[in-house]
């Protein structure tokens, strides 16, 4: 999601104030998501099939703040459409785009996984860990191919990656909306006889991930709407106003990479326990009688 690939026009370099805002946000994304990954990987109670996709999403969000964000501020492609292919710009644009693309792809994957868990709960319980590994690898591979396509298109039709990116956002929003509408309708029409065990845990996990999805959509949707603004309307505003609009929506978009850990902390009791243990320098495994509390999500 760059001004070069998705915005309405190429904006000037941000002012010192905006650089400070973005830098603070990127540091927050990096710090919070690193801590989240440590919490998930340090507790065996959180290293479950149901959290593999969450970890993959967290890694994507982490790299958005560590790689994509700084490149948003300091990297401007040197080539122009029609001037030939540049391996330098191709590699940098691919690196730049892969993590935002992967973040959206992981959100879609989580929604589809929750949909499968709701419609086919017993079949879902039989899925092996290796299947999750393959699915996550496939998700990242698709994101890489998508980023490569955007990087290639940039060299020949500079505006083309913008429409590719918008299409990806729209597809993600459709998958999220349709999946969770079906989940909500299914849960209301087929309530479980007794909320216990793995089925209850899956349903409560679905609620947690639904909240994660809603938070992400609320952050992404304004940028998606902004991307649809025709250049003719956008260019009617002063360049300074254009820049402020672009950076405001970009700041809100990147916020989607930092809100998820707070939802985990509120909804997941085991996550809170593990996080508290790390902060207090205690081993998350020190209590041998701890039981998985995903049902508290």
pLDDT tens per residue across span 134-177: 999 999 999 999 999 998 888 787 778 878 888 888 898 899 88
Domain span holding position 252: 16-296
Round to whole Å and give the CA distance between 253 and 238.
23
- Mean pLDDT lowest for which of 37-51, 56-70, 208-222, 279-293? 279-293
Round to whole Å and give the CA distance between 97 and 54.
20
Q: Is the pTM of this model over 0.85?
A: no
**Residues of the chain with pLDDT > 90: what percent?**
18
- Total domains in the chain come to 1
Asked whether residue 10 is domain-assigned, the answer is: no
Query: What are the respective helix, strand and coil percentages of the chain, to the nearest 5?
Result: 75, 0, 25
- Mean pLDDT lowest for which of 20-34, 59-73, 134-148, 158-172? 158-172
Round to whole Å and give the CA distance between 15 and 21.
10
Asked whether residue 158 is domain-assigned, the answer is: yes
Asked whether residue 273 is domain-assigned, the answer is: yes
Asked whether residue 103 is domain-assigned, the answer is: yes
**H or E element at residue 54:** helix 49-63
Asked whether residue 4 is domain-assigned, the answer is: no
Asked whether residue 114 is domain-assigned, the answer is: yes
Asked whether residue 85 is domain-assigned, the answer is: yes
**H or E element at residue 267:** helix 260-267
- In tens, the pLDDT along 216-263 reads 888 887 877 777 776 667 667 777 787 788 888 888 888 888 887 778
Check which CATH number belongs to the domain holding 167 and give it: 1.20.1070.10
Asked whether residue 1 is domain-assigned, the answer is: no
């Amino acid at each position: 999601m760059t001004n070069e690939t998705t915005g309405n026009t190429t904006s000037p370099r941000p002012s010192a104030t905006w650089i400070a805002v973005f830098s603070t946000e990127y540091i927050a994304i990096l710090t919070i998501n690193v801590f989240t990954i440590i919490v998930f990987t340090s507790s065996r109670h959180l290293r479950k099939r149901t959290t593999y996709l969450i970890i993959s999403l967290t890694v994507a969000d982490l790299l958005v703040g560590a790689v994509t964000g700084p490149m948003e501020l300091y990297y401007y492609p040197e080539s122009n459409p029609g001037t030939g292919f540049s391996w330098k710009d191709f590699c940098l644009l691919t690196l730049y785009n892969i993590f935002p693309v992967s973040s959206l792809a992981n959100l879609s994957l989580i929604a589809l996984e929750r949909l499968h868990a709701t419609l086919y709960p017993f079949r879902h319980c039989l899925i092996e860990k290796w299947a999750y590994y393959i699915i996550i690898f496939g998700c990242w591979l698709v994101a890489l191919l998508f980023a490569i396509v955007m990087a290639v298109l940039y060299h020949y039709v500079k505006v083309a990656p913008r429409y590719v990116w918008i299409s990806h956002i729209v597809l993600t929003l459709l998958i999220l909306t349709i999946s969770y509408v079906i989940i909500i309708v299914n849960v209301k029409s087929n309530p479980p006889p007794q909320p216990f065990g793995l089925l209850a845990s899956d349903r409560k996990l679905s609620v947690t991930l639904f909240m994660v999805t809603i938070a992400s959509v609320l952050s992404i949707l304004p940028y998606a709407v902004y991307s649809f603004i025709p250049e003719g309307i956008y260019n009617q505003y002063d360049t300074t106003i254009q820049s402020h609009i672009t950076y405001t929506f970009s700041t809100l978009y990147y916020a989607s990479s930092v809100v998820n850990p707070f939802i985990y902390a509120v909804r997941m009791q085991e996550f809170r326990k593990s996080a508290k243990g790390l902060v207090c320098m205690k081993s998350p495994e020190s209590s041998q009688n701890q039981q998985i509390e995903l049902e508290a999500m």
